[in-house]
Structure 1
Amino acid sequence: MPQTADFILERLRAWGIGRIFGYPGDGINSLLGALNRADGDPELIQTRHEEMAAFMATAQAKFTGTLSCCMATSGGGTIHLLNGLYDAKLDHQPVVAIIGQQKRIALGSAYQQEIDPNTLYKDVSEFVQTCMHPAQARQLIDRACKVALTNNTVATVIVPEDVAMEEAVPSPPRSHGAVYTSVGWTKPRMIPPEEELDKAAEVLNEGERVAILVGQGAARATDQVAEVAELLGAGVAKTSLGREVLPDDLPYVTGPVGLLGSTSSHAMMMEADTLFMIGTSFPYTEWLPVEGQCRGVEIDVDGRMIGVRYPMDAHLIGDSKDTLTELIPLLRRKQDRSWRERIEREVSEWWQVLDDRAHDTADPLNPELVTQELSKRLPDESIITTDAGSVANWWSRHLKLRTGMKASLSGNLATMGPGTPYAISAKFAYPDRPVIALVGDGVFQMNGMLELITIKRYLDRLSRSSLIFCVFNNQDLNQVTWEQRAMAGEPKFPGSQDIPDVPYAEWAKLLGFTGIHCDDPGRIGQAWDEALAAKGPVVLEVVVDAEVPPIPPHIKSTQAKKTAQALRQGDPEAWGVAIKGAKQKMHEFTESVKKKTPGS
């Protein structure tokens, strides 16, 4: 007879879950047996660590827009999932976690591996329940899936070992207290009331200098965002999670915003008289217009987050695509295009600044040049992931994404670790699309190197097109080093920041993959060509200069003072940092002078 474990998998399959990311353990023995009997539907993708399983589930939800699932054993396995699940929660992705638990008879006895996952998961999971009876499994799986999809969040079902082993009860007995649930969910059409749409249209129509900021909530509204930008003569800045909303080759797309941002986005925000935020809750308000500078309109599907970053005049609670569809007929095309033309000049100058910066000399490789050379070569339909660290700056700024490309990172959690598992998950979801991960050496040492073993296990499925891991080797936990200088006024502390030099390309070869080592600026283009032409997975190790600063588009006075303080206090890289940082800002100054000089 089928066990409850078999029924749980059958119910997950009915919800469209065909892949579960996880790692085995005796607390889920019955579920593993059921997976064996399921004959690959759903299939188990065995990661090297439960945290990586949760990251992969998050990435699948991000890149496919569908419900995803991860699984872990009781005790330590349950704990290991948490970081990846927080990534899903904070970036609003629907993930169901199935976790094991000791037998019911042992609970409360301080049994081995006994923890309290109900309490532990209360913050990360909007729905967390323990299956105490086989007849309860149906409604718990159904509710978990509905909650995850409705609220774009994490939902968890805890399955004690003895319940999983019991005979399945597909339908509970018809008695008081029994609940009968069904598989099924549809995305609602959410639009604000007409009076709020009219108010928003009035604000946007009256604005003379409209700045649009989009996030991942606008991902389904590409055409509508483009139409609104054209009608309003606006520029469009993108958060890191909103990178794929509009392609970067549109002349009015100002690129990233914030510390990882562009001078064109910063100029637009500082000079706008109207701010239109679509599908984003970008938290760094110091990079938004000054309070009182702008009138504001915001679209957000979550009413709890509307108008919490900038004071808004119109609060449009609804789906971005549906709301924009209703709003567009109310907007008037602006005849004066001088604001749009100004933005397009700023964007053109920014791309030139990036190219100039990338070709500054460095020791040995300029990390900006590495990303710039990739941008020229990005294959159609590429999926590009990255990780926390200074590499995220180059990923945000230098990659010129085109229509059809996907890109993501850990946005709100900004945790180390997702870049490599995100890429692997993307490859499972889209085996024929090129996938490229840009990761730092610190995070690659943390978990990326071992996760390449997962690729080795599933090599036959992950080798149909490019799968490249570009490791930026600077032997420094670089972003934190810069944060120590700019935020704390502290010099680099080698005891915490220096990391061992590891032969990453050789590690790839040891696994049977292609390994390419590059420390020559004259050869980086060729190295990318080799990586993109290779059959099977590739590790491209680039030896880059840790002293090239990820300078923001506008240096705040406090950051400048603290950085100078840190360099004066005996920072081991003070001279190189000062010279290379000055070079970067000089490129911005040069372009600014050209702009003001007639005939230049």
Structure 2
Amino acid sequence: MSTDVADFILDRLRQWNVTHIFGYPGDGINGLISALGRADDDPKFVQTRHEEMAAFAAVGYAKFSGEVGFCMATSGPGAIHLLNGLYDAKLDHVPVVALIGQTARTAMGGSYQQEVDLQTLFADVASDYIVEVNASAQLPAVLDRAIRTARTRRAPTVVIVPSDLQEEEYEPPEHRFKHVPSSDPGDVVGVITPSDVQVRRAAEILNAGERVAILIGQGARGAAAEIAEVARLTGAGVAKALLGKDVLSDDLPYVTGSIGLLGTRPSYELMRDCDTLLIVGSNFPYTQFLPEFGQARAVQIDDDGTSIGMRYPTELNIVADARATLAALQPHLHLRTDTAWRDTVEKNVQRWWSVVEEQATTSAQPVNPMRVAWELSRRLPANAIVTADSGSSTTWYARCVKFTDGVRGSVSGTLATMGCAVPYGLGAKFAHPDRPVIALVGDGAMQMNGLAELLTINRYRQEWDGLPFVICVFGNGDLNQVTWELRAMGGAPKFEESQSLPAVSYAEVARAMGVDAMTVECEADLGDAWDWALSAAGPTLLDVRCDPEVPPIPPHVTVDQMLNMTQAVAQGDPNARHLVYQTIKTKAAEFFTRN
């Protein structure tokens, strides 16, 4: 019996063990949709409310499953909508494959309905691999290479299949000129190991240091035990880039937490005072939070040679697997007997968590957003997955949520796009239906695109083992991150017309969409609210009314930032009195705890 092109595509994906495709239908992919129906929805088609959300969900699925994520969209506007999610994958180095329809080949070049030059459109975001298929004999090589490229280079790839080709009979490539065959799926991904010379040189540098700092990113995931052992031998403190927040437990006394503008004071102090720096699996871009150039001797380990040696003047770069390199390094390291540096790091960490608790429990009107994250930390399930959106809620996720062993989490680290947390959570739930998921979302991101996806969450809730899926909305009526940036970086007061959000009850909207919800307007109710949500057998939403004037104070406040804030207040910030009052209370909590 003959096989349509669309049937072959799905069969090839099944050979690659693809189980989920996130997308939205349209006539440019009618052939593929029909084939899914004939295949009894295998792979499973997950219908999101918007193609951008499909791309984000594929990114979330890939981040938390470790497999390639798949999304699908029709030609024209559907394809265009994928772009933001695919750029998120590109900048965070996540393997995603997009299957995209196109106008029929007979109509191309005729300004036909929904005809867009997709190869030009996706040329940058899918620069590692983008192909438009014009003959079915191309398909085995194209599909296999798209998946292999996505996996190997941890990047988005795009396969464009015109609508008329999808419904033609599949003809495999032949053993002849200008036909490209492909081997069957089932690749085994190897590990790049370092040379002995590199390992010994790295050990010499680390052994010579008296104040060693380690910075880890997502490329260090899977090497937690090895990092801990290197830290023990060298007496190092360990700071975490935002995408590496889940690599090591925050309960470890030498883990200083997140680094950067959203980071912690002990991470800032670790970098400020170290004389040796080991960077593992991180491409953290903000050099102002790293040691002064020339202050520290530095070694970097990363299996991606294109991203190494570009953030700090490193003395030695090792392009190899993090776990293999750190394991080879350990026998050459000398156990540091002088514990003064490690003792200082641990005292700074202990003091910091006391500061965070004091700041989080400082009263606000109506609810302190730091306390939302702090109360979650006290109840965070051991196998939870936490996603956070872009905005001031990211700060509270980065600083206040304590991860323990087994907890996973992620954000849009490099693109820092709004609207990712809910679809990330959706992708995480399909990757791990047996784990609780918590999405921390600002009300700006929730209004942007999170509300509609509550319908998607309610639709698929029966597939997730009856475990919690909590959407926590930080409702402060303000595009808060930008408001604080205007004040601290531009010296400008809050501009109500651009910053204020329309009032809405997220709890009422959630209930209307079939998701249980609770509104929290009092700090004393936060603990009970989290207990309720984390014990629910299914999705819930917490609508927490937060104080927009609780300041996301950076780990080190510069003179310029203080002057800009003063200028913003002097120019008539609409909430100046409460802003000043809350800032003084927050800073006082830090000062008196630290002293």
- 1:140-539 superposed matches below 5 A: 140-169=142-171, 171-182=172-183, 183-462=185-464, 464-539=466-541
Residue in 2 aligned with 1:116?
Answer: 117
Do the aligned residues in 2 keep the contact of 1:463 with 1:537 (CA within 8 Å)? no
Whether the 8 Å CA contact 1:16–1:67 is kept in 2: the answer is no
Structure 1 contact 71–97 (Cα < 8 Å) conserved? yes
Q: Distance in 1 between matches of 2:402 and 2:256?
A: 11
The alpha carbon displacement at 1:587 in A equals 2.6
Of 129, 132, 136, the match for 1:130:
132
- 2:59: which partner in 1? 58
| Residue identity opposite 2:29 in structure 1 | I
User: Which string of whole-angstrom CA distances, capped at 9 and with x for unpartnered residues, describes residues 508-533 of structure 1?
Assistant: 21122211011111111111111122
Preserved CA contact (<8 Å) 1:455 1:462: no
In the other structure, the counterpart of 2:571 is 569
Q: What CA distance in whole angstroms lies between the structure 2 residues aligned with 1:379 and 1:268?
A: 29
Q: Which amino acid aligns with 1:25?
A: G
Q: CA contact under 8 A between 2:302 and 2:318: conserved in structure 1?
A: yes
Q: C-alpha distance in 1, partners of 2:590/2:279?
A: 27
Which amino acid in structure 2 is aligned with residue 280 of structure 1? S
Equivalent in the alignment of 1:548: 550
How far has the Cα of 1:463 moved from its partner?
A: 5.6
Note the alpha carbon deviations across 1:183-220, whole angstroms, 9 max, x for none. 23222211233222222111101000001110000011
Shift of 1:271: 0.6
Q: Which one is further off, 113-122 or 298-307?
A: 298-307
- Higher mean displacement: 525-534 or 306-315: 525-534
What residue in structure 2 maps to residue 101 of structure 1? 102
Instruction: Encode CA deviations 1:3-52: one digit per residue, 9 max, x unaligned.
Output: 10110111111112111000000000000001111113211000000000
| Structure 1 unaligned residues grouped into runs of 5+ | 594-600
* Comparing 369-378 and 559-568, the one that deviates more: 559-568
Give the fraction of aligned pairs with identical amino acids, expressed as a percent.
Answer: 51
Instruction: Report the 3-state secondary structure (helix = DSSP H, G, I; strand = E; otherwise coil) of the residue aligned with 2:346.
Output: helix
The aligned amino acid for 1:20 is: I
Q: Answer yes or no: is the 8 Å Cα contact 2:454–2:515 preserved in 1.
A: no
Q: Is 2:38 aligned against 1:37?
A: yes
| Distance in 2 separating the partners of 1:409 and 1:69 | 19
Contact 2:52 2:85 in 1 (8 A): yes
| SS state at 2:214 partner | strand
SS of the residue corresponding to residue 162 of structure 1 reads helix
Aligned length: 592
Name 1:6's counterpart in structure 2: 7
Distance 1:422 1:520 in 2: 29
TM-score (norm 2): 0.98
The amino acid that maps onto 1:168 is Y
Deviations 1:376-420 (A, max 9, x none): 011120111110000011111111111111000100110001100
Query: 2: distance between equivalents of 1:463 and 1:364?
Result: 35
| Distance in 2 separating the partners of 1:287 and 1:575 | 31
TM-score for the superposition, normalised by structure 1 = 0.97
Q: Which residue identity is paired with 1:244?
A: D
1:130 is aligned with what amino acid? E
Q: Deviations 1:147-196 (Å, cap 9, x if unpaired)?
A: 11110101111000111111012x31222011110123222211233222
C-alpha separation between the residues in 2 aligned to 1:512 and 1:46? 17
Preserved contact between residue 256 and residue 264 of structure 2 (Cα < 8 Å): yes
Deviation string 1:334-379 (CA, Å, 9 cap, x unpaired) is 1111111111100000000000001111101000111111110111
Task: Judge conservation of contact 1:441–1:474 (CA < 8 Å) in 2.
Answer: yes
Cα separation, 2, equivalents of 1:331 and 1:256: 26
User: Counterparts of 1:308 and 1:584 in 2: how far apart (Å)?
Assistant: 36
How far apart, in 1, do the equivalents of 2:359 and 2:121 lie?
47
With 141-150 and 528-537 compared, the bigger mean Cα shift is at 528-537
Report SS of the residue matched to 1:156. strand
One-letter code of the match for 1:24? P
Deviation at 1:440, TM superposition (A): 0.5
Letter in 1 for 2:295: Q
AA paired with 1:178? H
Task: Note the C-alpha offset of 1:288.
Answer: 0.7
Distance 1:124 1:326 in 2: 36
CA contact (8 A) 1:476 1:546 kept: yes
Q: Name the counterpart of 1:588.
A: 590
The 1-side partners of 2:314 and 2:592 are apart by: 37
SS in 1 for 2:177: coil
Equivalent position SS for 1:276: strand
How far apart are the structure 1 equivalents of 2:95 and 2:343? 40
The C-alpha deviation readout for 1:438-489, integer Å capped at 9, x for no partner, is 1011100111000010012212113611111011110000001011111211
- 8 A Cα contact 2:358 2:590, kept in partner: no
1:68 is displaced (CA, Å) by: 1.6
Cα distance in structure 2, aligned partners of 1:566 and 1:196: 52
Paired position in structure 1 for 2:580:
578
Calculate the aligned-residue CA RMSD, in Å: 1.1
SS in 2 for 1:212: strand
